[in-house]
Each structure stands twice: as C-alpha cells, then as structure tokens.
C-alpha cells in the first residue's frame, strides 16, 4: 500500500474497509472446506464447530464492552439493534409508562423509531444538546417524569464525533429506575465502553464502523438486573427468543474478530489517529472564518467537523474530487434541509450548509492528511473568490442585516 | 451525485466571474437567493445606450449546479437586448446543463437573477429620466 492513496478516504464514520485479518476469518466460514455449518444444528460436528466460532465471537464482542457473552444478541446492524432496544423496551414496559426521552442529535435509527412509537401512543421528549453537542445532565433530569420508562442517548455522535458522558447519565437513570439505551455504533475501538460502570441496560453495536463487515450488529441486553424486551422478529427462538433467524456465522465471526482487534489495538491506534486529526486541524485552523462543530475535547480522535463560512459544502466537495468526505450541506441530501445535527447545536443554516466532516481511520496516512490540507485550502480559496457572501463579508456588510429573498 | 460534463466545465472554468460597479448608471445588479437556503447569486449586467447587454459578471455561493447555472447565464445574456434577456427561461438552462430534477431550482434562481438585474437597471434609468425631466 502506498502512502498517498488517491482518492483519499476520509469518511471512516460512514463505513470502514474490512481489515484483512477480519476478511480472512470470514472467508474461513463459507465453503465446504470451511466452517459453514448452522450454529443451531445440535446433532453433528458441523453445527458444533460453527457454534464454537459464534461463541468465541460473542466473547470478543462482550469483552470490549465489559459484558457477559450471554448478554449479546446478534442483529443485522445498529439500526436493527436500536429498533429492537427502543420498541422492545417501550412495548414491554408500556403498562408502567409510555414516556421516552432522547436527544435531537441522535441517529435517524433512534429518532425514526421514536416517531413510530409516538404514532402508537407513546410520548417522546427530544432534548436539545448544548452548543458543544453534549447533554446537560440537569436538563435530562428535569425531563424525567413519573411515566418515563426509557432514556435513549447515543455514546458518540456520528456527525460531530462528540462523546456523551454516559457514566453520569447512567447513574441518573439507574437511580430513577429507568432503562438506559445507548446507541454505540460509532464507539467501539474509539472510546472505552463499560456497561457495568456506566449502568447501561441496552447498547447497540455494529461491525462495519470497526473494520468489520456490513450487515451484522449486536444488542447488549443486561441480565442483572434483568432487562426484558419484546422481540420484534419472531421465529425459531434464536438468541434467547429476542431475535430469531439463523445466525450468519461468517458475519458474526467477522464482527468478533474486528472487536478483538479493536480491543487489542485501540490505544495505540487512537494515539496515532488523534495526531493525524490534530495535524489536519492545525493545517486548516489559521484560515479565516473556520468553525469547528462540536466539542473539541470530548470527541473521538478521528473526527473533524468544520464549517468554512461563505462556501457551500456540496460545491466544496465537488472541488475535492480526490478526497472522500461528507457534508452537512442540504445539497448532499435529497431533503434540501441542512444537517439537523448542526442545527440542533444552534449553528445557523449558513454554517450548516458550509460544513465538511472528515473522519480518519486505521489506514489514514500523514501524506493523505497533508494532501487534504493542500486541496481544501485551494478549494476554499477558489470558492470564496466566487462567493458574493465573501465579497460582502470583506466589504464589512453584516449579512444578518440583509433582507434575503428566501426561496 | 454525478454531474454532467457541462456542469463540471462551468464549475471548473467559470465564465465572467467578478464584480461591476453597482453604482454605475449603466450597471444592473440582481442578487437572489438566501444564505440560509444554501445559494445566493449575484448577477450584474452592463448595458449600453441602445439597451444591449455588453458585459455580464457573476458571483455565486451555492452548489456546483448553481455556480454552473450563473456562469452559463452570463454567457447567454451578453449581446442580447434587455427584452431578449428577459425572455430567457430556466428550462433553457436545465437543458443546456442537463440538470437533474433536484437541481432545477438552481436554474430558476438564475432566471430570477436575470430578471432582478434587468429590473435594477430599468429602475435606475427611469429615475435618471425623471430627474432629467
């Protein structure tokens, strides 16, 4: 592998390439010569071997989050885990209460699931985060009601990379005897998770953000004190009845291997990636009118979400054709709405439209970061030369005082 | 999203980028859109005494299609009379740049920019005629 791989991939929070070691473990579980059996087959060695592989993977996933392997339920990914946790817990506890609390900056897999529950008669409070993206614990405490049964707060935000203080949130929910669900799709290998220390009851995970395959995830479901949820997919009673369906041995083995590697290498890897992220930020921060979105300290090492004022995100990405990043600009979505996450932080629409998310990972190199700095600076300069807003800013016009013809 | 070759060409080599003297009697300025919506176009036309557009400049904040639409419009209006320029329809821009449906608003904005610039120069000239009378 060369040091500067063009196009440069800086979208590790969207997905990651599968680690070679993971790919090898997976391909060993497919063919006649490999471990292809059904883990549910109790009557022969093919089934036993497959079950052993699944058990080992379960142990590896459990180990990274400080859980017991029996508390791991395999799913198709974090979206399914979020659905199972939130709907499952809400439905099971519906007689106790029908109020749920979540955050406006959650992933759509959580927000849309909550919307669905609202249509079924549940009530949901959507908390505003602070300007730095973090939850104010007092505001969360104030939102708790008699009939609140579930709080769902993400660990690491996918757009801005900020890390919520789950330990403090868990202490609160446990003291109030409310279940805590945590969407941790973005956390494994980046920030430590300890379900016991943090008092987490339900935790969503997936493999493809940690150099594992797409299409596999897990839900941690606490056993002591026992957390009960209603199954969403019914069938053969796999996974203690919480999620039926034949286990995908190769996917599960891939997830297990990716979590094993994450556990072993995360410390060294995070130190390396943080250095690169800081190098990227240092290379851009002296430009005029550049704003970091989200807290810089309470943040995973690989994320830099930054707004280049007076430049529109999609056209910026068009200039960066050799660099794969994502933007909070409306034009990158079909909805024509800019990022709801950035807006929830109180960022104005202009800055939301002007944002780029760089996410660095295991295979990012210094050369790629330096190339990116050079290209971004060039593109921003070019687009500002083209921007009437930049002209007006330079002429000292207060853009908020202008009467815009909104369309 | 994949861009058409023409959008990429205008985006990479935008025509007539710049600024004309907005206070000049023979310059009309149209600024349309809003930063909150993600696009703002400023189109300026310089008109001779016979009402023919002899120069046009633009600056645009927006996506690649918005930049390409405004760049194209500066080329289209040059040499036209104000009435001819006013007759330019957004669908001509859509067709020329092969804009996908989600980007049609960029062409509408460009049409609006022409109209705003023409209105500005006409207002200026009327005002001048009034003060001369």
Which of B61, B99, B102, B119 should we substitute to test contact with A (largest number of A Cβ atoms within 10 Å)? B61
Task: Please list the residues that pair with A305 across neighbouring strands.
Answer: A357
Model confidence over B64-90: pLDDT tens digits?
999 999 999 999 999 999 999 999 999
- Alpha carbons within 13 angstroms on the beta-carbon side of residue A100 total 31
CA distance A160 to A184: 14
**Residue A337 to residues A111, A154, A284, A331, Cα–Cα distance (Å):** 16, 22, 26, 8
Nearest to A239 by CA among A114, A67, A64, A84: A84
- In chain A, the residue whose alpha carbon lies closest to the alpha carbon of B62 is A312
Q: B67 and chain A: CB distance < 8 Å anywhere?
A: yes
CA distance A246 to B92: 56
Nearest to B67 among A330, A386, A404 (CB): A386
CA distance A383 to A314: 11
Q: B22 and chain A: CB distance < 8 Å anywhere?
A: no
The active-site residue, picked from B37, B98, B102, B123, is B37
Q: B20 and chain A: CB distance < 8 Å anywhere?
A: no
The predicted model scores a pTM of 0.92
Sign of CA pseudo-dihedral A382, B71, B57, B111? negative
DSSP B18-49: S---TTSTTEEEEEEEEGGGTEEEEEEEEE-T
407 residues of chain A, pLDDT tens digit each: 458 999 999 999 999 999 999 999 999 999 999 999 999 999 999 999 999 999 999 999 999 999 999 999 999 999 999 999 999 999 999 999 999 999 999 999 999 999 999 999 999 999 999 999 999 999 999 999 999 999 999 999 999 999 999 999 999 999 999 999 999 999 999 999 999 999 999 999 999 999 999 999 999 999 999 999 999 999 999 999 999 999 999 999 999 999 999 999 999 999 999 999 999 999 999 999 999 999 999 999 999 999 999 999 999 999 999 999 998 776 555 566 788 999 999 988 889 899 999 999 999 999 999 999 999 999 999 999 999 999 999 999 888 888 887 55
Q: Indicate yes or no: CB of A390 within 8 angstroms of CB of B61.
A: yes
Which of chain B's residues have a Cβ under 8 Å away from the Cβ of A337?
A: none
Which of chain B's residues have a Cβ under 8 Å away from the Cβ of A353?
A: 35-36, 38
Assign 3-class secondary structure to A28-41: CCCCCCCCCCCCCC
Region at A240 (left for phi over 0; alpha for psi -120 to 50; beta for the rest): left
Q: What is the C-alpha end-to-end distance of chain B, expressed in Å?
A: 56
Question: Residue A205: helix, strand or coil by DSSP?
Answer: strand
Question: Phi and psi (nearest 5°) for A369?
Answer: -65, -45
Token look-up 């999609």 returns A314
Q: Which of residues 372-401 of A touch B (CB under 8 A)?
A: 385-391, 399
Sign of CA pseudo-dihedral A339, A345, A348, A350? negative
How far does A134 lie from chain B, in Å, by closest CA? 25
Instruction: Write the CB contacts of A177 (distance below 8 Å, at least 6 apart in sequence).
Output: none
Q: What is the ipTM of this complex?
A: 0.93
Which of chain B's residues have a Cβ under 8 Å away from the Cβ of A404?
A: 33-36, 40
Which of chain B's residues have a Cβ under 8 Å away from the Cβ of A311?
A: 61
Nearest to A243 by CA among A80, A367, A361, A126: A80
């Amino acid at each position: 592998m060369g040091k500067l791989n063009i196009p440069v991939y800086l979208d590790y929070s969207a997905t990651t390439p599968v680690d070679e070691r993971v790919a090898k473990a997976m391909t060993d579980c497919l063919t006649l010569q490999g471990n292809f059996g059904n883990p549910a087959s109790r009557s022969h060695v093919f089934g036993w071997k497959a079950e052993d592989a699944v058990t080992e993977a379960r142990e590896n996933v459990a180990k990274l989050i400080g859980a017991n392997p029996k508390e791991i339920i395999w799913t198709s990914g974090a979206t399914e885990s979020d659905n199972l946790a939130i709907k499952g817990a809400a439905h099971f506890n519906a007689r106790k209460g029908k109020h749920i609390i979540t955050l406006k900056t959650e992933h759509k897999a959580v927000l849309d699931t909550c919307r669905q529950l609202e249509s079924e008669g549940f009530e949901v409070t959507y908390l505003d985060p602070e300007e730095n993206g973090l939850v104010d614990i007092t505001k969360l405490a104030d939102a708790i009601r008699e009939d609140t049964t579930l709080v769902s707060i993400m660990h690491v935000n996918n757009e801005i990379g900020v890390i919520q203080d789950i330990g403090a949130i868990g202490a609160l929910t446990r003291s109030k005897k409310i279940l805590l669900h945590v969407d941790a799709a973005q956390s494994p290998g980046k920030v430590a998770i300890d379900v016991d220390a943090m008092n987490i009851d339900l935790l969503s995970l997936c493999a493809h953000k940690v150099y594992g395959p797409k299409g596999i995830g897990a839900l941690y479901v606490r056993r002591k004190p026992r957390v009960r949820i209603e199954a969403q997919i019914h069938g053969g009673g796999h996974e203690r009845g919480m999620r039926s369906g034949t286990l995908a041995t190769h996917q599960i083995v891939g997830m297990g291997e990716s979590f094993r590697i994450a556990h072993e290498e995360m410390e060294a890897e995070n130190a390396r990636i943080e250095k690169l992220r800081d190098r990227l930020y240092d290379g851009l921060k002296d430009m005029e009118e550049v704003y970091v979105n989200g807290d810089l300290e309470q943040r995973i090492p690989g994320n830099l979400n930054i707004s280049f004022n007076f430049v529109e995100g999609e056209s910026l990405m068009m200039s960066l054709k050799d660099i794969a990043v994502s933007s909070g600009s409306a034009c990158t979505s079909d909805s024509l709405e800019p990022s709801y996450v950035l807006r929830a932080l109180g960022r104005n629409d202009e800055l939301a439209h002007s944002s780029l998310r760089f996410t660095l990972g295991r295979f990012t190199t210094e050369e790629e970061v330096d190339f990116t700095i050079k290209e971004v600076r060039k593109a921003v300069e070019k687009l500002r030369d083209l921007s009437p807003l930049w002209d007006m800013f330079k002429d000292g016009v207060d853009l908020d005082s202008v009467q815009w013809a909104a369309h | 999203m994949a861009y058409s070759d023409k959008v990429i060409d205008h985006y990479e080599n935008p025509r007539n980028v710049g600024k004309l003297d907005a206070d000049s009697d023979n310059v009309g300025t149209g600024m349309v859109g809003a930063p909150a919506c993600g696009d703002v176009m400023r189109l300026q036309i310089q008109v001779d005494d016979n009402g023919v557009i002899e120069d046009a400049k633009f600056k645009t904040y927006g996506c690649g299609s918005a930049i390409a639409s405004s760049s194209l419009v500066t080329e289209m209006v040059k040499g036209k009379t104000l009435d001819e320029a006013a007759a330019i329809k957004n669908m001509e821009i859509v067709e020329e740049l092969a804009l996908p449906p989600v980007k049609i608003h960029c062409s509408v904005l460009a049409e609006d920019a022409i109209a705003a610039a023409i209105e500005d120069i006409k207002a200026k000239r009327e005002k001048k005629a009034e003060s001369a009378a």
